[in-house]
Chain A
Amino acid sequence: MQPTPPAPSSSLKPQTSSLVDLYRPQLTCNFGQLEDVFPDCIAEAVALLSPQGVKDYLDGASLICRIGRGFEPVLIYLEEMPQVASQLGEGTLELVSRTVWRLSRGTNGKAIPHFLQTIAEAARRLGSEESLERYVDLMMGLANRTSTSIHGNQNATFPSPGLPLFLDQVPFLLSQLSLEGLKNWVEYGIHNYNGHPERQKDYFGLQSADSRAILQRERRGTLFMDRERQLDLYMKALWETKTQYVPYSEGWDELRKPVPYYDHLGIRVPDVYDDIRAPLSNSPPDSGGKGKRLPAGEILVSGIDRYRALLAHIAAHRRWSEPLIADNFSPFQRVAIETFEDSRVEWLAMAQYPGLRRIWLALHPRPGEEDCDPERESCIRHRLAMFSRALLDPNHGYRNADLLEFAAKFHELMQSKDNSTKAVAGLAVSYIARTRRQADLSPNVYFTDTLIDYRDDNRHLWRYIEEGDEEERFDEERKLPPEEKETDRLPPRHYPEWDYQTKTYRPDWVSLYESLHPAGDPMRIDALLSKHEQLTKRLKQVMDLLKPQHFVRVRYQEEGSELDLDVALRSLIDLRAGSQPDPRINMSHRNDGRDIAVMLLLDLSQSLREIPEGCTQTLLELSQEAVALMAWAVDQLGDEFAIAGFSSNSRHEVRYQHIKGYSERWDDRVKARLAAMEAGYSTRMGAALRHAAHYLKTRKADKKLLLVLTDGEPSDIDASDPRLLIHDAHKAVQELDQQGIYTYCINLDPNADDYVKEIFGHQYTVIDRVERLPEKLPRLFMSLTR
């Protein structure tokens, strides 16, 4: 049944040690403890960073080593920075090391470990390099301004009393405040307690009453990070898309206030939105007329609705806008086109979701018709903002004839068949021609009430011919896994592949090599399990309900192995009494054993090395944790269980790695293989499914389950038509079904719905929050087998 797997190949060890040989000399640092942690850290850095990033990382660590504060700061830097840099950008490597250097030059050296301890959490909460930089500036400002002498001595010989306490509170503070809120809170503390070391400590340690009060005051608004899942669901449910987000802070005075936009990296969104409330009295009455005034302070638009307004606007652009050639238009024409296009996509969105009008309208400025003097200032923005208002607000009340005429034309155009971006651009151009004024060119531009801040900056709308191709380059460097030796392999097995175009199998098309997965350190897996101690406790409770209680007595049976005396007597009495007796007077015993054989098939392709948005671990690590937990759970339940991984490098080389066989216990040998799990190459799924089935098929169990854990669609370097491998995988699933094997896919790709359904029919789950995989996988297994 089980092939005897070949002896473990030891390809892993030399790999890590060669990394150490290569990179250790680039790190100037002589702490003895370093040698213990270096191999793991450098392996992670190499996997996550570009070559330049690895160099900056080692330079940064060398710099921190030189400050003479012991090993601790170096250790924190080495351990945290690869993750931070790969998520926020590699510029953070130098940002952090230089900040540490600057701190060490002043009087605040003691705060360095406190600072470094905040980096991982701050990075997670802040979500972008720019915001992290802001945070560092804020921290340095606090350090510098509070560390001058308390006796008026300008030499700054005393360290900041509040800084270390502040740093210890940072994770909590960031969970409560936006970056701007944090800034205000810090300012208040510096301003009021600069001369009082003790009270300063109380403030920054969140001990004093006013410290908490200011925190409450600044804690308004809706933090993006707290609502990210809701907004994800919103985009999925209403707009059928899924995107990444890059939050930014609005709290810094800049020449240009940052505005939302989107590009291939995702959507830039403010990190916080305040609720918008009805103005306090003595503001001018609603000029629209039919307004019943809301009580002052009433929420007009909540923070979450502001996010939705922004995302709806952007989603509408993405669905309906088509890019135009910028070179064909003058700057004025372009701003007009942008306004008209904004209104166009909103019109289309409101046709589907009329309720958006209320939210957009509440956020849209209402420029007064006579506010701008067209003789003396440039009214172009004012004109367009009024026009935009008029399209959204049926009660706009404007009387300008051109505006009314073009608003009517706009609506007419939208009702017609050709209501494309191009068509509306034509209308915008004639509007600008019709309403042109001499003063439009004046540098004195009228801005009041013309900024529509839930709209993005429309950079996606323009293509430029002149400045060369603006095409984005996605030439990320491929980090190829080191060569593996060809030894220690079983002879290949050949599997067919389905060609959907000719509707035939290509016989013996794929060569599959099975090998024993190399081994690592089993303790790592135990450590992972103990990390999830709480979870394992909870899982245990669920499992107790699933555990086979082998002999169950089944009462109230018409036929059974024994007479159930209680019931029989009752029936007899009923019969004597002349009423209808219950005929189910027997009982029997049922063997309620679970008889399940499970195979867990892991996709070990290259993409597993990525760190998904919002996570601190790679997919590979998350999978490892999840598999460890599931293996533990299945072992407790006593089901037959095997684990294997697969990857591929063209049809000539599908690798199938044996991790746990049915006859093996969940012991150190298996854990060691799991601990060494590596990712590389592509995903030729069909052959792997067929091979897994070939083991599962021979099991005697009643129920056979093949679980496939994957993070992407099937692909391979020699398959230019992606449909081919999808169809083949689907075919394989059908074959398995015929053999009585139930295949189920757990997919970690949030955009999986299209292809995963094609392959697995209804038998799949997409895990959106990958960080919860360790918890999800065992639960899923249990619910599948309940």
Chain B
Amino acid sequence: MSHAIDPYRISEEPFYQPQADEIELYEAAYAERLPVMIKGPTGCGKSRFVEYMAWRLGRPLITVACNEDMTASDLVGRYLLDAGGTRWLDGPLTTAARIGAICYLDEIVEARQDTTVVIHPLTDHRRQLPLDKKGELVHAHPDFQLVISYNPGYQSLMKDLKQSTKQRFAGMDFDYAPPPVEAGILVRETGIDEETAMKLVKIGATARNLKGHGLDEGISTRLLVYAAQLIKRGIKPNAACRMALVRPITDDMDIRITLDHAIDVVFGQA
């Protein structure tokens, strides 16, 4: 059974703006092949970071977006029926373990806990993956690494990870970048001018001040990028911001009115 590595390779350097020493820390964790857990609010650059690290380390990257309906077979693999009988197909986790890729399980808390436990034997010193149905024990490739991410802002007891799962990972905390850095990201990502970028970031900050006061999440860097893209296309800043920054995050009228006003005073027109 052979697997092509190439489709999983990242050929071009993704743009990633470091915030602190996260690159160095990740490299050290990778050198030891420690599984890594990345925590942070939505749209703050977690996925982008992993992509960048895979490129930097020259490893293929296999990303799985987790969801509630995902079963263990979706990760590990399954038998398919075909005219000739049955045929085994590796799941993404198994593939990654075989070819020595970095396997990134995005939003792992979304998966049911009985699904999550299949990663356990891969995350301790054994570095193995038993394929019970196939009767095979896969020994992970020496370059294989597991990375998971989740958003601790989702406050649900039911969606928290089990202690026994958490305790298998080295953890990294991510957050939205400080204002000038975040503005720099917008400039690089969209080609928007610096001044407009700073204004968008300022609006982001006002919304983040309301977190816990009627907003579950502030405005993410991702949404700021969207707003910048719309402005770049020639949409008026105020309209672009309303559309990309305010409407998606809340239906609370008082908060909308407040954020709309923030947009007006930051862009200085109304």
Q: Which residues of A contact B (CB under 8 A)?
A: 229-230, 233-234, 236-238, 240, 304-305, 308, 352-359, 557-559, 571, 575, 578, 580-581, 583, 596, 703, 705, 737-738, 740, 742, 744, 753, 761-766, 768, 783-786
* A308 and B80 in contact, given A358-B268, A762-B153 (Cβ under 8 angstroms): no
Chain B positions within 8 Å of A240 at CB level: 209
Q: Are B207 and A354 touching (Cβ within 8 A)?
A: no
Q: Are B73 and A753 touching (Cβ within 8 A)?
A: no
| Cross-interface CB contact of B207 among A237, A304, A765, cutoff 8 Å | A237
Q: Are A236 and B209 touching (Cβ within 8 A)?
A: yes
A316 to chain B, nearest CB (A): 12
| Cross-interface CB contact of B81 among A229, A355, A583, A738, cutoff 8 Å | A583
Whether B224 sits at the interface, judged by CB under 8 Å, is no
Q: Are A580 and B80 touching (Cβ within 8 A)?
A: yes
Q: Are A580 and B157 touching (Cβ within 8 A)?
A: no
Contact with A along B224-252 (1 / 0, CB 8 A): 00000000000000000000000000000
Q: Are B163 and A738 touching (Cβ within 8 A)?
A: yes
Whether B254 sits at the interface, judged by CB under 8 Å, is yes
Count of A-B contacts judged by CB separation below 8 Å: 108
Chain A positions within 8 Å of B262 at CB level: 237-238, 353
Chain B positions within 8 Å of A761 at CB level: 152
B187 to chain A, nearest CB (A): 20
Q: Are A763 and B155 touching (Cβ within 8 A)?
A: yes
A357 and B207 alpha carbons, distance in the complex (Å): 22
The 5 closest A-B pairs by CB, nearest first: A355-B265, A354-B268, A353-B265, A237-B206, A355-B268
Q: Are B155 and A784 touching (Cβ within 8 A)?
A: yes
Chain A positions within 8 Å of B209 at CB level: 236-238, 240
Chain B positions within 8 Å of A559 at CB level: 133
B146 to chain A, nearest CB (A): 22
Q: Are B210 and A766 touching (Cβ within 8 A)?
A: no
Some 15 contacts from A to B, beta carbons below 8 A apart, are A230-B258, A237-B206, A238-B262, A304-B257, A355-B267, A355-B270, A557-B71, A558-B79, A581-B81, A596-B157, A740-B162, A744-B157, A762-B155, A766-B213, A786-B156
Q: Are A764 and B212 touching (Cβ within 8 A)?
A: yes
B242 to chain A, nearest CB (A): 14
Whether B143 sits at the interface, judged by CB under 8 Å, is no
Chain B positions within 8 Å of A236 at CB level: 209-210, 213
| Cross-interface CB contact of B269 among A355, A703, A737, cutoff 8 Å | A355
* A352 and B202 in contact, given A237-B262, A358-B270, A785-B157 (Cβ under 8 angstroms): yes
- A238, A352, A740 — which one has the most chain B CB atoms within 10 A of its CB? A238
Known A233-B214, A352-B202, A764-B212; 8 more pairs at CB < 8 Å: A236-B209, A355-B266, A358-B268, A580-B80, A765-B155, A768-B213, A784-B158, A785-B157
Interface size on B, residues (CB 8 A): 40
Whether B177 sits at the interface, judged by CB under 8 Å, is no
Q: Are A744 and B264 touching (Cβ within 8 A)?
A: no
Q: Are A356 and B155 touching (Cβ within 8 A)?
A: no
Whether B56 sits at the interface, judged by CB under 8 Å, is no
Chain A positions within 8 Å of B1 at CB level: none
Residue of B nearest to A356 (CB): B265
Residue of A nearest to B253 (CB): A230
Whether B82 sits at the interface, judged by CB under 8 Å, is yes
Chain B positions within 8 Å of A737 at CB level: 163
Q: Are B160 and A233 touching (Cβ within 8 A)?
A: no
Q: Are A233 and B258 touching (Cβ within 8 A)?
A: yes
Q: Are A238 and B264 touching (Cβ within 8 A)?
A: no
A357 and B78 alpha carbons, distance in the complex (Å): 65
Q: Are B258 and A583 touching (Cβ within 8 A)?
A: no
Q: Are B212 and A765 touching (Cβ within 8 A)?
A: yes
A92 to chain B, nearest CB (A): 30
Residue of A nearest to B265 (CB): A355
Whether B255 sits at the interface, judged by CB under 8 Å, is yes
Chain A positions within 8 Å of B257 at CB level: 230, 304
Residue of A nearest to B163 (CB): A740
A565 to chain B, nearest CB (A): 17
A99 and B152 alpha carbons, distance in the complex (Å): 57
Q: Are A238 and B268 touching (Cβ within 8 A)?
A: no
Whether B48 sits at the interface, judged by CB under 8 Å, is no
A356 and B270 alpha carbons, distance in the complex (Å): 10
Whether B139 sits at the interface, judged by CB under 8 Å, is no
A358 and B209 alpha carbons, distance in the complex (Å): 24
Q: Are B156 and A357 touching (Cβ within 8 A)?
A: no
| Cross-interface CB contact of A744 among B155, B258, B261, cutoff 8 Å | B155
A253 to chain B, nearest CB (A): 34
Q: Are A355 and B155 touching (Cβ within 8 A)?
A: no
A768 and B160 alpha carbons, distance in the complex (Å): 26
B260 to chain A, nearest CB (A): 11
Q: Are A705 and B157 touching (Cβ within 8 A)?
A: yes
A571 and B79 alpha carbons, distance in the complex (Å): 14
B91 to chain A, nearest CB (A): 12
A236 and B207 alpha carbons, distance in the complex (Å): 9
Contact with A along B9-28 (1 / 0, CB 8 A): 00000000000000000000
Q: Are A742 and B267 touching (Cβ within 8 A)?
A: no
A742 and B160 alpha carbons, distance in the complex (Å): 8
Residue of A nearest to B266 (CB): A353
Chain B positions within 8 Å of A765 at CB level: 155, 212
Q: Are A785 and B255 touching (Cβ within 8 A)?
A: no
| Cross-interface CB contact of B254 among A233, A581, A705, cutoff 8 Å | A233
* A234 and B261 in contact, given A354-B267, A580-B81 (Cβ under 8 angstroms): yes
